[in-house]
Structure 1
Amino acid sequence: MTRAPGPKGSLLWGSLGAFKADSLGFLAQAAQDHGDVVRLRFGPITAHLVNHPALVEQVLSRNAANYDKATRSADRIAATTGRSLLSADQTAWARHRRLIQPAFQPRAFDGIGPVLDDLIAPMFVRWDKAGKIDIVDEMMQLVIAAAIRILFSSSIDPQRINAPLEILLADTWRRIEAPLDASLLSPRLHRPAFKKAVAQIDAIVLDLIQTRRASVQRPDDVLTRLLDAHAAEGEAQLTDQELRDAAMTLLLAGHETTANALSWAFIHASGTIQAADPAHIFAEAIRLYPSIWIIERRALQADTIGGFDIPRGSSVLISPFLLHRRADFWPDPTRFDPARFADGTPRPRDAYLPFGLGQHRCVGLHLANKIAAHVIGRVFAEFDLRALPGQTPHTDPGITLRHAQPFWMSVSRS
């Protein structure tokens, strides 16, 4: 047996303390010190950090059948999203993917420009009056409003969903990092704030679903497409609970990830870079700051990765954040350079996976790209954004790669 090298850590909890203190810094140092496959111990859990494109492709694509999502992180996420695309077992995941994938074909979102413009217009009015903005909050509010409109054709106050989502995200990450999680014993043991937040979103989403089922005239949005999906696929219709779980997943994974990436794009592309192609700006933003910064899988059977043994039942960790910053695949990796994504520019195979890789690649990638390119294009066509002095952007890794604090920018008409 060839065991991968890795940090020793403490006798009882291994590297859990170091990971909680600085997740990104700890993983980066572990990869630098020990190579492309690093054995980590988090209390009773053994995990292997895999950080090379060819080895990542083995886990997520070529030998994906040996790696499932029955992981610690998926169990915690399931308390919010149910057994959805983020956390379902293989059978349930395959059914959801078959039914949900057609609703997210690129052509389904060709007409979202006017929807986005309706939301951008009042934002621009507010910017004209304010003179300075917190770009993190602005993008979060814009994208959650867009998600609600595109998913449900609804104009529900975004704060009614965003506020409880904030609670769910924070509490879910707290439970992922915690060595013990009492809520796994019984849902009744969740914190009151968590249970209240779930109930608040459930009330909104289930009402939308039930109202839509009873409607004769249905708008052409994602919810309607999901309601109709079974007819084309020849299998049972998604239940209200399955629709609720899908909607929660799309709200959580969709708006949060796109909003975070847009904020990073504006922070780094202000000034001369803003003349670059909006799609290239966004692609570079999610290279440097992939919202899904870490991916976890469980080995169903023992495997060998990079010459090292991966025991059955152990976790495999893949960090797009680390992979996207490898200097041997991305020259000058920390420099923000949208030209990396210009047409015809060669890019390393499997070293870029902001939306995942293989069969679990994000169904919403086309929608996210369309929203982002449209917003970036509209903003830079009309405004000049500049970071106010005295600020340094800091990452806050949790369920997604967030901003550690507000980031203030001046806004003036260009």
Structure 2
Amino acid sequence: MMRAPGPKGSMLWGSLSEFKADSLGFLADAVRDHGDIVRLRFGPITAHLINRPEYVDHVLSRQASNYDKATRSADRIAATTGNSLLSADQRAWSRHRQLIQPAFQPSCFQNIGPVIDALVDPMLERWQQTKEIDIVDEMMQLVIAIAIKILFSSDIDPQKINTALETLLADTWRRIEAPLDASMISPRLHRPAFKKAVGEIDQIVFDLIQTRRRCQDRPDDVLSRLLAAHEAGGEIQLNDKELRDATVTLLLAGHETTANALSWAFIHASNGFETAEPAHIFAEAIRLYPSIWIIERRVIRDDIIGGYHIPRGSSVLISPYLLHRHTEFWPEPNRFDPSRFVDDQPRLRDGYLPFGLGPHRCVGLYLANKIAAHVIERVYARFKLKLLPGQLIGTSPGITLRHKGPVQMKIECRDNK
């Protein structure tokens, strides 16, 4: 069987140092130099980067049972989210999905407009009194507040949760990139800042769960739906720890990804696309900047993809960021153009998977799209946003595809008041 081509790297660590120095640039160079299947080595780990829609479909959909989440990245993420949809093995994942999926049916979120408006309106009023904003910070604060309301119907301080989550995300990515880390020996050896952040999130979530259990008239939010599933009995019910893990996962995934993508949407739409449909603006933003920019799977049994041997126990890497910029499927792929989405949502044949694919497709995709389109529409109804000149707009890939720093935008009122 043929072995896929790839960079040689160093004798000891392979391409780990190049990946750590510039993850996106290294992977882009790898597919440019070696093609759409690239063999990579990161220390003892062998990985194959695949970059065609049919290869991705093979791994995430048609042969998904041969590719699981028993990976280095899932193990590191599990330190925060526990045995959740992001990191669980196939049996546990299936049980979690069966219970959580009903809480995210589109019918559950048909009337969330007023909930979003109650948080967007104060932000817009504050914008009315200023001339400049950091769009990255504004969207992060807004979306975490929206997520808290939709998930928990709570008035928890968004900044407290956001600060803790930022610590968890940064440390998790550090441990994914690090060849050796003390926490691999024992969870007790996690860095103090990480343990403190986990403790803060746990206290908030467990308090929410216990308060809601005692509530006689529960609000119709995601937590109440999860508790109802938990209390229904039967073999598939979530225990207390699993309920915590599911809640933390939804809190983390429910704000970070959408906030990042919304910032990219406003940054690029400011170049003459403000009149495009909000849904199209958001769809194009997450094509160029998918929050989940890399996906890892472990190979259970030897396989062949594109004529190349994919050995058992190795990893497969999929980068939506690269796939969304593949010139064979996207004309002028680096150009922001919401009109790509006017006639039809691109299907897998176009290499479009900002929310994943197959059985592990994100449960919150409908909610994320609905929040984003609503926020974009409300903002552009009152303001024009323009990038201030002289800024270097860059990406910072980690657990999610974040912004490299603040992005300042000028605010212009549409009514000239």
- TM-score, reference length from structure 1: 0.98
- What is the correspondence of 1:351-370 to structure 2 with a 5 Å cutoff? 351-370=351-370
The residue aligned with 2:3 is 3
1:122 aligns with 2:152: no
Distance 1:354 1:235 in 2: 33
- Per-residue Cα deviation, 1:43-102 (whole angstroms, up to 9, x for no partner): 111000000110110000000000000000000000000010000011110000000000
The residue aligned with 2:334 is 334
Q: Give the 3 Å change call, closer, same or farther, for CA 59–378 of structure 1 in structure 2.
A: same
Q: Does the 8 Å CA contact 1:271/1:385 hold for their aligned counterparts?
A: no
Q: Does the 8 Å CA contact 1:98/1:233 hold for their aligned counterparts?
A: no
Distance 2:287 2:83 in 1: 29
TM superposition shift of 1:130:
1.8
TM superposition shift of 1:243:
1.3
CA RMSD in angstroms, aligned pairs only: 1.2
Distance 1:237 1:138 in 2: 38
Q: Does the 8 Å CA contact 2:230/2:239 hold for their aligned counterparts?
A: no
What letter matches 2:204 in structure 1? I
1:40 aligns with 2:45: no
The residue aligned with 1:61 is 61
Moved more, 227-236 or 354-363: 227-236
TM superposition shift of 1:345:
7.1
What letter matches 1:50 in structure 2? I
Distance 2:202 2:345 in 1: 45
Matched position secondary structure for 1:272: coil
TM superposition shift of 1:239:
1.9
Q: Does the 8 Å CA contact 1:329/1:348 hold for their aligned counterparts?
A: no
Distance 2:345 2:105 in 1: 26
Q: Does the 8 Å CA contact 2:288/2:325 hold for their aligned counterparts?
A: yes
What letter matches 2:76 in structure 1? R
Q: Does the 8 Å CA contact 1:78/1:87 hold for their aligned counterparts?
A: yes
Moved more, 333-342 or 236-245: 236-245
TM superposition shift of 1:318:
0.2
TM superposition shift of 1:343:
2.5
The residue aligned with 1:290 is 290
Distance 1:170 1:116 in 2: 28
Distance 2:322 2:271 in 1: 27
TM superposition shift of 1:181:
2.0
Structure 1: runs of 5+ lacking an equivalent: none
Distance 1:251 1:239 in 2: 18
Distance 2:380 2:43 in 1: 48
The residue aligned with 2:77 is 77
Moved more, 340-349 or 290-299: 340-349
Distance 2:69 2:261 in 1: 25
- TM-score, reference length from structure 2: 0.97
Distance 2:367 2:68 in 1: 26
- What is the correspondence of 1:299-318 to structure 2 with a 5 Å cutoff? 299-318=299-318
Q: Does the 8 Å CA contact 1:69/1:298 hold for their aligned counterparts?
A: yes
What letter matches 1:110 in structure 2? Q
Distance 2:350 2:243 in 1: 32
The residue aligned with 1:218 is 218
TM superposition shift of 1:393:
1.1
The residue aligned with 1:12 is 12
TM superposition shift of 1:128:
1.3
TM superposition shift of 1:172:
0.1
TM superposition shift of 1:370:
0.4
TM superposition shift of 1:182:
1.7
- Per-residue Cα deviation, 1:8-60 (whole angstroms, up to 9, x for no partner): 00111100000000000000000011011100000111000000110110000
Moved more, 221-230 or 303-312: 221-230
Distance 2:237 2:319 in 1: 36
- What is the correspondence of 1:14-413 to structure 2 with a 5 Å cutoff? 14-230=14-230, 234-344=234-344, 349=349, 351-413=351-413
TM superposition shift of 1:291:
0.2
Distance 1:345 1:81 in 2: 31
Distance 1:21 1:12 in 2: 17
- Per-residue Cα deviation, 1:275-307 (whole angstroms, up to 9, x for no partner): 000000000000000000000000001100110
Q: Does the 8 Å CA contact 2:95/2:236 hold for their aligned counterparts?
A: no
Matched position secondary structure for 2:274: helix
Matched position secondary structure for 2:317: strand
Matched position secondary structure for 1:130: coil
Matched position secondary structure for 2:273: helix
Distance 1:348 1:160 in 2: 39
Moved more, 149-158 or 271-280: 271-280
Distance 1:267 1:143 in 2: 16
Q: Give the 3 Å change call, closer, same or farther, for CA 348–315 of structure 1 in structure 2.
A: closer
What letter matches 1:342 in structure 2? V
Q: Does the 8 Å CA contact 1:52/1:351 hold for their aligned counterparts?
A: yes
Distance 1:7 1:271 in 2: 38
Matched position secondary structure for 1:390: coil
Q: Does the 8 Å CA contact 1:57/1:350 hold for their aligned counterparts?
A: no
Distance 1:356 1:338 in 2: 20
